[in-house]
């Protein structure tokens, strides 16, 4: 081969390499809850792939749904979706199909979590599962909390010191459970009773936003004394104050599963799937579980967890504890509209 041809080939290969590298995504946008990802794990992914993860946050499933509705599912590459919402978003065409060919580490995930919700097996990869209960300051609440009614009908000295999660399913669900009904009830009279309970509580509520989990949390400063909270988040707050306690209300509540989904509008689907696959490497998934204090659906990762973590009754509640807990089910459109109206009358 002549020198000129050799130089031409070398130039072609160099140009091809530059184009290929330019085509590789440098950033993925991840829509998630705050405090739900270990930054060191994101750094490790960047070191391996050269891809940075930019996080965008929501503070309730309702807020996430509204954000995706406003953007028509655009502007994000990976999103955390609660199980009950996957079917709705998939029906809109906003979620990319996922399987073991594109996410090989799905083989490590417990099948029962993959199929727990309609369309979840096709459009989501289980991230974590947990429950909903009450967190409170034992030094500020003058009695042991056992019931949703302790939060929904707070004693006078706690007025202005309670908070609720501003999510229609969670708020209305706990009111229904407190009254002895299913959180999936569609009965008009039961929903009217739940609304009356929430309306009566409203003057005592300081905020309907999910409280922060850092050292400036209103629960730590004493601005709040009691709140709805997802179980694992309690462990983060307890790192700062031993008076933080968590209870599974006797009436029961919600069992939830969060899923990682790829947005169909993303131009970086291959990289997004690579990120989800990375998060399901057993060692990575085990580290992440210990960072966020939640139960992992990844069976291979679960085997790597310390025994005290697996035996933690807040992170892994017993079957007896969960006997009155339910998952959210698909509701008819009329019932969804009714709940949205109730939520709007209370929060807005």
DSSP letter string, 113-164: HHTSSTTHHHH-EEEEEEEEEEEEETTTSSS---SHHHHHS--GGGTTSEE-
pLDDT at 205: 98
What's the rounded Cα separation, in Å, for the pair 70 and 326?
30
36-85: per-residue pLDDT in tens? 999 999 999 999 999 999 999 998 998 999 999 999 999 999 999 999 99
State both tokens at 258.
């969060």
DSSP 267-334: S-HHHHHHHHHHHTSHHHHHHHHHHHT-B-SBHHHHTTS-HHHHT-TTTS--TTTTTT-B------HH
141-154: per-residue pLDDT in tens? 999 999 999 999 99
Question: Mean of the pLDDT values across residues 170-197?
Answer: 97
Q: Is the pLDDT score of 222 beyond 70?
A: yes
Q: Is the pLDDT score of 311 beyond 50?
A: yes
Superfamily of domain 130-254+321-347: Periplasmic binding protein-like II (3.40.190.10)
pLDDT band at 7 (very low <50, low <70, confident <90, very high): very low
Residues paired with 257 in a beta bridge: 129
pLDDT band at 12 (very low <50, low <70, confident <90, very high): very low
- Give the burial class of 55: count Cβ atoms within 10 A of its Cβ; 0-12 exposed, 13-18 middle, 19 or more buried: middle
What's the rounded Cα separation, in Å, for the pair 239 and 137?
13
Query: According to the CATH classification, is domain 3-129+256-310 in 3.40.190.10?
Result: yes
Bridge-based pairing of strands 162-163 and 244-247 is unpaired
- Name residues whose C-beta falls within 8 Å of residue 131's C-beta, 6 or more positions apart in sequence: 230, 231, 248, 253, 254, 255, 256, 317, 322, 325
CATH fold match for the domains 3-129+256-310 and 130-254+321-347: yes
pTM for the whole structure? 0.89
Domain ranges (residues) in the chain: 3-129+256-310, 130-254+321-347
Tell me if 159 sits within 8 A of 188, measured CB to CB. no
What's the rounded Cα separation, in Å, for the pair 204 and 161?
7
- Give the burial class of 327: count Cβ atoms within 10 A of its Cβ; 0-12 exposed, 13-18 middle, 19 or more buried: middle
pLDDT at 5: 46
Mean pLDDT computed over every residue of the chain = 93
**What is the three-class DSSP state of 55?**
strand
Own/partner pairs, 201-204, CB within 8 angstroms, 24+ separation: 201/151, 201/152, 201/153, 201/154, 201/162, 201/164, 202/346, 203/159, 204/154, 204/158, 204/159, 204/160, 204/162
Residue closest to 249 by CA, chosen among 135, 102, 78, 130: 135
pLDDT band at 274 (very low <50, low <70, confident <90, very high): very high
pLDDT at 25: 73
Tell me if 328 sits within 8 A of 173, measured CB to CB. yes
Q: Is the pLDDT score of 226 beyond 50?
A: yes
Sign, Cα dihedral of 148, 177, 214, 290: positive
pLDDT band at 348 (very low <50, low <70, confident <90, very high): confident
């Amino acid at each position: 081969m002549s020198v000129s041809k050799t130089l031409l080939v070398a130039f072609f290969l160099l140009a091809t390499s530059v184009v290929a590298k330019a085509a590789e995504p440098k950033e993925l946008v991840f829509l998630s809850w705050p405090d739900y990802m270990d930054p060191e794990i994101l750094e490790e992914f960047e070191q391996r792939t050269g891809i940075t993860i930019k996080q965008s946050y929501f503070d309730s499933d309702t807020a996430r749904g509204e954000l995706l509705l406003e953007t028509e599912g655009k502007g994000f590459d990976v999103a955390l979706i609660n199980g009950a919402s996957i079917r709705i978003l998939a029906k809109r065409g906003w979620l990319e199909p996922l399987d073991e060919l594109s996410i090989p580490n799905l083989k490590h995930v417990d099948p029962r979590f993959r199929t727990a919700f309609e369309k979840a097996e096709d459009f989501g990869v289980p991230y974590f599962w947990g429950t909903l209960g009450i967190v409170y300051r034992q030094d500020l609440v003058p009695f042991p909390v056992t019931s949703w009614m302790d939060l929904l009908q707070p004693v006078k000295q706690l007025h202005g010191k309670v908070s609720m999660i501003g999510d229609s399913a969670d708020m209305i669900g706990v009111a229904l459970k407190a009254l002895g009904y299913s959180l999936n009830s569609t009965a008009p009279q039961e929903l009217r009773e739940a609304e009356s309970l929430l309306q009566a509580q409203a003057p005592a509520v300081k905020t309907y936003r999910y409280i922060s989990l850092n050292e400036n949390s209103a629960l730590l400063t004493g601005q709040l004394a009691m709140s709805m909270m997802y179980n694992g988040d309690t462990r983060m707050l307890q790192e700062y104050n031993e008076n933080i306690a968590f209870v599974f209300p006797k009436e029961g509540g919600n069992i939830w599963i969060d899923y990682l989904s790829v947005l169909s509008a993303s131009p970086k689907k291959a990289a997004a799937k690579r990120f989800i696959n990375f998060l399901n490497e057993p060692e990575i998934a085990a580290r992440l579980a210990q960072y966020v204090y939640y139960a992992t659906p990844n069976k291979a990762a679960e085997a790597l967890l310390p025994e005290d973590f697996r035996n933690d009754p807040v992170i892994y509640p017993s079957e007896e504890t969960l006997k009155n807990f339910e998952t959210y089910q698909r509701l008819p459109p009329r019932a969804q509209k009714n709940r949205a109206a109730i939520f709007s009358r209370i929060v807005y």
